[in-house]
Amino acid sequence: MMRLFLNLAGIYISYYVYINYKKFFSNKIFKYIILVLVITLITSFINLFYNYVLYLRNILILITFIMIKFIFINIIIGGGGKSLKMIREKKEKLN
């Protein structure tokens, strides 16, 4: 199941690369060949490191949770800081 999700992630990444760099591909056949090559390269790369991903899965989950916590803390603190700045600016404009 994990390998299926990783393959889907590889296909998504390759499609994202294909969409962003579409202007460099002029010929249609060339475009599709490049797309298939990128998909196979990324999925084979993911399958190659599948066992390492299994070992690092818990560490990656921890890192993502820590990142989510930092993002929420930054949103809360940043939002509060922005609102305080706006209140101060309004007070300065009134004075």
pTM assigned to the model? 0.30
Q: What's the rounded Cα separation, in Å, for the pair 45 and 23?
A: 26
- CB neighbourhood size of 72 (10 A): 10
Identify whether the C-beta of residue 39 lies closer than 8 Å to the C-beta of residue 12.
Answer: no
pLDDT tens for the chain, residues 1 to 95 = 666 677 777 767 767 766 666 665 556 666 666 667 777 777 777 776 776 666 666 666 767 777 776 666 666 655 555 566 666 777 777 76
Neighbours of 44 (CB within 10 A): 12
Number of domains in the chain: 1
Q: What's the DSSP call for residue 95? A: -
The parent domain of residue 58 ranges over 2-94
For residue 27, the model assigns a pLDDT of 61
pLDDT in the model for residue 51:
66
